[in-house]
Amino acid sequence: MGRFVQSIVRGLRIRGLRQRWLVNAVVPILLLVLLAVALYTFGSAQYYYNDMRAGLETRARTEADSFTNYGIKSYGEYYRLASYSAETFEEKDTLELQFINVNGRVQVSSYGLTAGSRPGTSDIALAVESGTMQYFQGADPQTGEQILSVSQPLLINSRTVGVLRYVTSLRAVKHQVLINFLLAVAIAVVSITLTALSNALFINNVIEPIAVVSEAARRISGGSYGIRIDNRYQDELGDLVDNINDMSLKISQSEQLQQDFISSVSHELRTPLTAINGWAETLGVDPISNPEQTKRGLAIIEKESRRLTGMVEELLEFTKMQDGRFTLRVDTVDLVPELEDAIFTYRELFRQEGIEVNYECTDEEIPPIAADSERLKQVFSNVLDNAAKHGGAGKRIDVSVAREENRVVIRVRDYGPGIPPEELPFVKQKFYKGSSKARGSGIGLAVCDEIVNLHNGEFTIANADGGGAVVTIAIPMESQ
């Protein structure tokens, strides 16, 4: 039992529980939150960049269409219109409009300082080569500033004469992305903090009762059987506490029963041994002068030896029950003659003690059954002896056998004081003797119950109407 309790203690060991919680719960959540922040930041940046690029592409396409609608026929007309568009451009503070020739040089710009320069971004050359709109996002080769540019080829008579290019700084977008990132980080920090706090409260609420249970289990393994833990929990921890309390109670009861059993058996063995030794010494001194005394002494020695042998046999049967060696030798058995043999064996012995045995047998035919005759005779003998020991004050024992449906039912009733109601649920437990002062080891009924159960039968003990106790043995007539 001690090893069992120690295994519970090892299973409930709380060392490193917080560390395991940190690794298994908090770290994955932290990683998921960081991943969410990264994805959100990247997604918002892409959204702003794509939205800005789409806007520039729409404006570039619209502006290029306006050139086409003017019906420009010569390069001079194109240049004048480009200069006019740059001079009248209203968004000079946030956006730059450029007109670039096919060689990549800025001809006209709404921001006059860039005129004559070569931007050097890839979108210009690609637009000239492909004749389609191109964009560039990255560091400006001239200033190093992060920019976004869109280049739209301009055609005159199906020939590319230049490129209309919009350029804008990404400083404002990057600032907005940074704000979004910081906001996401703040939300993530708050979420992780709240999650960690709630989990910490939860893990502490788990650790505290586990520590209490662990301490109780340690005390139980140290021999403090019967201690109980105050159960304040309504969940699985409450079930664990109930199981520990139940285990502690059962260990305490088992320990007490074993102590009572050792005390009882020691007393029971001492009594016949004392009688045997005493009479042996008496007869050894003068075995001839008093024949009556010698006869009486030998009878007592025989009786006490028989009782001593019976107790030893009960103990042997009990050890077989404990280690699983308690088996049956099944054969075809006529149950009624076996019962009658047991009654005949005890009737004369009981008569000498002033106890009358009445036997009633059914008129119905009871067929032979598959059973172990020696084991069943052991049950009959034990029940009859038990009735005489505990109910002998009634001076009467009734035995009956009947056929009830598909079972053979044997009842043995005494007319003694009966069994206290509070002791009835425990009388078949091993070592249990209750308030009875009768001699015995307290395992006879437990052995009887085991034998009847191995025959797929029922062994019950109850108080009879009108006083006394009745033992009922029900054995099925067909093997199950």
What confidence tens digit (pLDDT) does each residue in 267-285 have?
Answer: 566 667 777 777 777 777 7
pLDDT at 16: 61
Task: Write down the pLDDT at residue 11.
Answer: 45
* The pLDDT of residue 190 is above 80: yes
Please tell me the distance from the alpha carbon of residue 244 to that of residue 406, in angstroms, as a whole number.
43
- Give the number of residues written for the chain: 480
At residue 100 the predicted structure's pLDDT band, cuts being 50, 70 and 90, is very high
pLDDT at 196: 78
Which residues, including other chains, have CB under 8 Å from residue 410's CB and lie 6 or more apart? 335, 339, 380, 399, 400, 401, 472, 473, 474, 475
CATH of 73-171 given 2.40.50.140, 3.40.640.10, 3.40.190.10, 3.30.450.20: 3.30.450.20
- In the CATH hierarchy, which fold is given to the domain comprising 331-476? Heat Shock Protein 90 (3.30.565)
State the span(s) of the chain assigned CATH 1.10.287.130: 257-323
Give the Å distances, CA to CA, from 131 to 70, 117, 384, 419: 20, 22, 117, 111
Q: At the top level of CATH, which class does the domain 257-323 belong to?
A: mainly alpha
In this prediction, residue 286 carries a pLDDT of 66
Q: Helix or strand or coil: residue 427?
A: coil
Can you read off the two tokens belonging to residue 371?
């059973």
pLDDT in tens, 117-160: 888 899 999 999 998 999 999 999 888 899 999 999 988 777 88
Query: Tokens in use for 315?
Result: 């103990």
- Top pLDDT among 325 and 170 is at 170
Whether the pLDDT of residue 401 is over 90: the answer is yes
Residue 325: predicted pLDDT: 64
pLDDT at 298: 79
Average confidence (pLDDT) over 451-469:
90
CATH 3.30.450.20 intervals, the chain: 73-171
Could you give the residue range(s) of every CATH 3.30.565.10 domain in the chain? 331-476
Over the stretch 198-225, which tens digit does the pLDDT of each residue have?
877 777 777 777 777 777 777 777 777 7
Residue type at position 130: S
